[in-house]
Amino acid sequence: MIGQYIIFSHVMDEQFKKYGRVREAALETLRICRDRNVLKKDLKEREKEVVNIMIELFNQESALKEYGDEMEEEGRNEITQLFAKLFSLGKGKDAEKATKDPNYMQKLLKDYGSAEG
């Protein structure tokens, strides 16, 4: 049974790569698995439920990615503001060191905060 779940996961990954994380990928995953007798009985009995779960997972992954992208952009802005502040204070060497040392970067962000600080 575990082997069948592994096969299901591989088929699902292949379909995601082919179609993206959309309903079509979920439906094609189920079709291929049924054709290969992978989890055939379970998928037949619970097809709608499995598709809904897959779609919900897609939506959650999309939301997390979007949130991560947003946070990444905020982080870049914060670092840009920090570097601008350091250069305006004549502390270019601190900015250079921060690019090589993540712990030092965190210290500077804490010490200097954003451009308002």
pLDDT digit string (tens) for 18-31?
Answer: 998 788 999 999 99
> What's the average model confidence in pLDDT over 79-83?
86
> What's the average model confidence in pLDDT over 105-114?
86
Contacts of 18 by beta carbon, 8 Å cutoff, 6+ apart:
25, 28
Q: How far apart are CA 77 and CA 115, in angstroms?
A: 10
pTM beyond 0.85, yes or no: no
Terminal-to-terminal C-alpha distance of the chain: 58
DSSP for residue 39: S
Provide the percentage of residues in the chain whose pLDDT is more than 70: 97
